[in-house]
Amino acid sequence: DVLLFKTSVSFVDHLQEFLSAVLTSTTLVIPPIDWRANPTSLANLIKTYRISRMTIVPSLMEMILPTMEKNISCGYNSLKILVFSGEILSLVLWKRVREILPETTVVNLYGTTEVSGDCTFFDCKDLPAILECEEITSVPIGFPIANCEVVLVTHAGMADEGEICVSGACLFNGYLAEFLMSNHTEGSESSTYYKTGDYARRLKAGELVFLGRKDRTVKNYGQRFSLEEVESTLKEHPAVSDAAVTFQSKGSPDYKAYLVFKNKDGIVKDSLQYREVNSSQDIMASIRSWLIKKVPPAMIPSFFLST
């Protein structure tokens, strides 16, 4: 195998890329540090270095897939195993990948940092059979990995649809000196489990399908954050009276910010940043530039709208 080390060390999936190569003496290709400025360049790296195994978030795969398709049409496909992780894998993207990479094994993983990155897996070769008898809106997250127990819990107890709770060897101890509390779930072999806040449904054959969350925590480019935090930061801007953000992830993320501006008298006119502002579009452009300095890139909305 030849692995590609493209994931930031602040994201748990880098362990699959880095440590797996180190522990198995496998060739590890490290792309130039500025590749994020041009994500499609990864497709050319895959072709040039004949990458055979790669872990990637679906949103990044959507960016590089058109270039990969062109490269593959001109030659050999080196990619043996493609692992999706960190975001919902849509049926639309899976179908495109299947058409372009028919000989590549595609695996969908689910997990959180609190469970060492992953706790369930699904081999997408089983998906056509599932689609014949089940109605689903995304690729299943599958079954628990080895040494990991996953149960679905409601207020009434265990069920076939509910909150994902995880126990087993993959579970973290806690945050800093605060250890995970022990809890008892009927029918569970372990008395300690982590309530992920994520919800899922169990299919007839036992696979889990991710349903989402009941709070306003979302994942964008594999990074988890709260929409309330983005709204609170936007409201700190001197030109903003109120703000709301929405996020939907059906295929490509639909992430928007709705802003209510103060009247002209309420904008800080003596600041150089706003001296040349003449329209709401100018204000929104300046707000986006201001927000980039305040939060990580994944938390920047794709669209800014005024009301």
Q: Any residues with CB less than 8 A from the CB of 174 and at least 6 apart, and which?
A: 180
Alpha carbon 47 to its chain centroid, in Å, reads 25
152-197 pLDDT per residue, tens: 988 777 788 999 999 888 888 777 766 666 554 455 454 688 888 8
Specify the pLDDT at position 279.
Answer: 60
pLDDT of residue 271: 44
pLDDT at 28: 94
Q: Count Cβ atoms below 10 Å from residue 163 Cβ, excluding itself.
A: 19
Q: pLDDT at residue 120 above 60? A: yes
pLDDT per residue as tens digits for the range 5-44:
988 887 777 888 888 899 999 999 999 888 878 888 899 8
**The domain made up of 218-306 is a member of CATH 3.40.640.10:** no
CATH topology of domain 1-110: Rossmann fold (3.40.50)
Residue 83: the pLDDT is 94
The pLDDT of residue 59: 87
Residue 242 has pLDDT above 80, yes or no: yes
88-111 confidence digits (pLDDT tens):
999 999 999 999 999 999 999 998
Average pLDDT of the chain to the nearest whole number: 85
More confident site: 83 or 16: 83
What pLDDT is stored for residue 251 in this prediction? 57
More confident residue, 210 or 307: 210
Sketch the domain layout of the chain as residue ranges: 1-110, 218-306
Percent of the chain with pLDDT over 90: 50
Please report the pLDDT score of residue 184 as a whole number: 45
Stretch 128-151: mean pLDDT: 94
In angstroms, rounded to a whole number, what is the distance separating the alpha carbons of residues 194 and 305? 38
pLDDT of amino acid 244:
95
